[in-house]
Amino acid sequence: MFRRGVTWGCNMRRPFGRVLPVIALMGLVTLAEACGRTDAKAPAAVPPPAAVTTVTVKVGDVPIVNELVGQTQSSHTVNIYARVSGFLERRVYTEGAIVKEGQTLFLMDPKPFQAQVEQAKAALAMQAATLANARANLERVKPLVELNALSRKDLDDATGQFQTAAASVEQAKAQLETAQLNLSYTTIVSPIAGITGAALQTEGTYIDATSQNSQLTTVMALSPIWVTFSVSENQYQWYTEGLRTGGLRGSREGIVDLVLVDGSIFPHRGTITFTSPSFDQKTGMYLLRASVDNPQGVLRPNQFVRARLKGLVRTHAILLPQRAVQQGPKGHFVWVVNHDNKAEQQPVVPGDWHDRDVFIEQGLQAGERVIVDGGLTLQPGQAVAPQPAR
């Protein structure tokens, strides 16, 4: 009996030892559920509107500039040849120097030509004396014929001698003039102002004026200087189509600014003076040529420059900063701000760049607000706080 009582008492304590942890665990669960219900009832925090900067779409006329690679070319190049045969006596000019019009370049041996001039002068004097004798004879014969002292034939003979002598005098004058011209050709001058090339003949060389190797040097005019550049067939088609449809408006004469190798703008502007009548069959390009004043000789022939062609205006154009246009899986788009100050994606078709901006061909209308900065993390329908961009 005693043992049973003891055993039973021990069995009565064991259930309480197991029940207490269970009760504690249930209390914790109940507390957690109560806390969860308390959190669920708290209002969710609303994020503030995203700060963005916007520009208002405007439609208007925009002057456009096409920058093309051009090459300078002398507007007047003269190959200097010897006009008479003889020995080249001396080169007077400095190779590569700028010369004036009429400045002496070469001297040839003038002595043979000076002798020809003296000979022609003597021949002219002899023919002049013959003419004077024939004139005097004619003046004596005329009154004698009128008195029938001489026959009509004597008058005709005297008249013929006079006319022959007069013709001989004119011939002698022409020969003298030719001799004097040949003598003047021994002094070879520059027919234009420009920059000279290298001397192709050395001093003491016999120059044969009838030979193809009689060229002495070259003189190239520097002002005005020509700048040639080409446009592609696509550019030409875009230009003509724009003028036809009214999307482009051009001035009567194209204006060209030149950008030098250091990035500076050449102080003198040029104008388009020639357009090729056809495309180059080898390159498929359309040639244009501008004339530019170059009084200081800064530009030299065959120099590469960048030609900025001005005078075109794009009508009814929309410009946006390039950073406002983004590209997604379905193409280009911009973020616009609606009347509720919420962001919306709007597909656009961008065109050519214009400095730091880009033309928008389709997708926008005047008055719409386009987000420029702050649109990289936006979501459709997100509230924004727009501020005008500077």
Q: Which two tokens stand for residue 104?
A: 């002496």
Phi, psi angle pair for 251, to nearest 5°: -80, 170
Q: Which residues contact 157 (CB under 8 A, 6 or more apart)?
A: none
Tell me the angle at which helices 111-146 and 152-184 cross, rounded to the nearest 10 degrees: 160
Per-residue confidence (pLDDT) for residue 385, from 0 to 100: 93
Q: What is the mean pLDDT of residues 184-196?
A: 95
Q: Which two tokens stand for residue 300?
A: 């030299």
- The CA distance from 62 to 320, in Å, is 12
Summarised one tens digit per residue, pLDDT across range 344-378 is 999 999 998 888 899 999 999 999 999 999 988 89
Concatenated DSSP letters for 5-48? HHHHHHHHHHHHHHHHHHHHHHHHHHHHHHHHHHHHTSPPPPPP
Instruction: Show the CA angle centred on residue 130, arms to residues 125 and 133, nearest 5°.
Output: 125
- The CA distance from 250 to 311, in Å, is 6
What type of residue sits at position 131?
L
Phi, psi angle pair for 278, to nearest 5°: -150, 170
Three-state DSSP class for 144? helix
With bands split at pLDDT 50, 70 and 90, how would you rate the model's confidence at 25?
Answer: very low
Q: Which two tokens stand for residue 68?
A: 């093309």
Enter the pTM of the model.
0.68
- The CA distance from 326 to 265, in Å, is 34
With bands split at pLDDT 50, 70 and 90, how would you rate the model's confidence at 311?
Answer: confident
Summarised one tens digit per residue, pLDDT across range 75-116 is 999 999 999 999 999 999 999 999 999 999 999 999 999 999
Phi, psi angle pair for 371, to nearest 5°: -75, 125
- The CA distance from 199 to 197, in Å, is 7
Q: Which two tokens stand for residue 329?
A: 């899986």
Question: Which candidate, 250, 368, 251, 247, places its Cα nearest to that of 317?
Answer: 247
Q: Which two tokens stand for residue 186?
A: 């021994």
Where helices occur in the chain by DSSP H, the ranges are 2-40, 111-146, 152-184, 233-245
Lowest pLDDT segment from 20-34, 165-179, 240-254: 20-34
Bridge partner residues of 218 (DSSP): 79
With bands split at pLDDT 50, 70 and 90, how would you rate the model's confidence at 46?
Answer: confident
- Is the separation of the CB atoms in 301 and 196 below 8 Å? no
Per-residue confidence (pLDDT) for residue 44, from 0 to 100: 62
Q: Which two tokens stand for residue 190?
A: 């520059």
